[in-house]
Structure 1
């Protein structure tokens, strides 16, 4: 849902954190979830001179994330909660990978492109179906991450990013699976839950790469 973009951007920003250039990270230098290669392509597209990605502004990073990842996985048209689960997957592991896992879970043609067939299947889901797809998507994402050769280096951070601090789904946990399910439930209710993040842990980041995480410290309500 387009209206969820600001919240999704906040969560993705917290997971990605700031600048990281880990020698084992195949994505290379990354800041706010944007790799140097992606930043270079973005600047060329705009006809602007190339610059180091380190120090990229929050506003520019969010514009790139919306254009390069959220829009391309159809996050503006996916059900609430599922939109965030797919979007974070795309930022962390690529649009095609996230799209293919979504299509596999939905049981539609797997081609890596979120189009009318995929969106129609997602929007036919019941409320319970949305939660089940979120859970299956996150579990499939973890299975993919565990197969990567950098699992030994980044596995703990990836697990915390996707599944949170504790197994299962908790109201106050910080995993994508927790936030996505809670977002889906909040959207169905008569209130909107605003999640206030806690501190980001050091040493995680963008992935194929790595992952940063935060804790949800409290929730409050405001009129829908």
Structure 2
């Protein structure tokens, strides 16, 4: 499926390498697996080998996506099978890769992936299809005249494709949700406001300094607003009591004066 394209392309490019211009390679000059003929066909008709050497990553991805991945309907194939067919298509052509897939699943080998091929592909075990396709691919490669020259590299490539495709097939189709990590914990607005109010009040009470020097690290945990409010109430009570005391004393003095008089 399309979520596998980037991963599949990265794996293909590992096998394709960078610049190659082997005299026994019928494809001729290639850069990241893109032949000069295909570069002229899809990007620049008058391209030279030097132009091909400068192919951009965007151009490479576009060519592989449009003319190989989409050609084998990679977005409609199950995970693992999509990569195995895609790599086969890049190495030996989309038409051949599709026909070999159809041979494995028992569909008509017309080189076109339609509803019947997709249905039969989805009804078979992925590992069975991947192993069958890789086996048939190796049999095809061994029949080529260039096997003595490239056989070792092809064997390594197909072995790698088989291994990675089976890993992809074993993974769930729906990837787990991405959990974003935050740099700091989000503090609820109400709590954050309360903390700020306490801090501002303490700053006013202390004149804005001296707390660290006093070593009162735990002082911020106290509810200074409540303490101040309680202090005010206590002060009022004391003042009332003092007022009452003065009135009582005055009344007692007046009574004593009247009695003595």
> TM-score, normalised on structure 1?
0.74
- Per residue, is there more strand in 1 or in 2? 1
Query: What is the CA-CA distance between 1:117 and the residue it aligns to?
Result: 1.7
Query: Contact 1:22 / 1:28 at 8 angstroms: preserved in 2?
Result: yes
Query: Contact 1:31 / 1:54 at 8 angstroms: preserved in 2?
Result: yes
| Alignment-derived partner of residue 172 in structure 1 | none
Query: What is the CA-CA distance between 1:57 and the residue it aligns to?
Result: 1.4
Q: How many residues align?
A: 177
Greater relative contact order, per chain length (Cα 8 Å cut-off, separation 6+): 1
Match of residue 186, structure 1, among 171, 174, 184: 171
Query: Contact 1:43 / 1:49 at 8 angstroms: preserved in 2?
Result: no
| Alignment-derived partner of residue 224 in structure 2 | none
Structure 2 Cα separation of the partners of residues 191 and 151 of structure 1: 42
> Pairwise mapping of residues 141-220 of structure 1 onto structure 2 (< 5 A)?
141-163=137-159, 175-187=160-172
| Alignment-derived partner of residue 11 in structure 2 | 11
CA shift digits 1:79-116 (9 cap, x unpaired):
00000000000000101110110000010000111222
Matched, 1:112 2:111: yes
> TM-score, normalised on structure 2?
0.64
| Alignment-derived partner of residue 58 in structure 1 | 57
Distance 1:190 1:7, change over 3 A: closer
Instruction: Extract unaligned runs of 5+ from structure 2.
Output: 180-261
Query: Contact 1:74 / 1:119 at 8 angstroms: preserved in 2?
Result: no
Structure 2 Cα separation of the partners of residues 40 and 191 of structure 1: 41
Structure 2 Cα separation of the partners of residues 191 and 146 of structure 1: 41
Query: Contact 2:40 / 2:47 at 8 angstroms: preserved in 1?
Result: yes
Query: What is the CA-CA distance between 1:187 and the residue it aligns to?
Result: 2.7
Query: Contact 1:32 / 1:58 at 8 angstroms: preserved in 2?
Result: no
Structure 1 Cα separation of the partners of residues 63 and 16 of structure 2: 14
| Alignment-derived partner of residue 123 in structure 1 | 122
Query: Contact 2:36 / 2:47 at 8 angstroms: preserved in 1?
Result: no
| Alignment-derived partner of residue 41 in structure 1 | 41
CA shift digits 1:175-213 (9 cap, x unpaired):
000000000112358769xxxxxxxxxxxxxxxxxxxxx
Structure 1 Cα separation of the partners of residues 56 and 71 of structure 2: 22
Structure 2 Cα separation of the partners of residues 36 and 190 of structure 1: 37
- Per residue, is there more helix in 1 or in 2? 2
Structure 2 Cα separation of the partners of residues 115 and 39 of structure 1: 28
SS in 2 for 1:68: helix
SS in 1 for 2:19: coil
Instruction: Extract unaligned runs of 5+ from structure 1.
Output: 164-174, 193-221
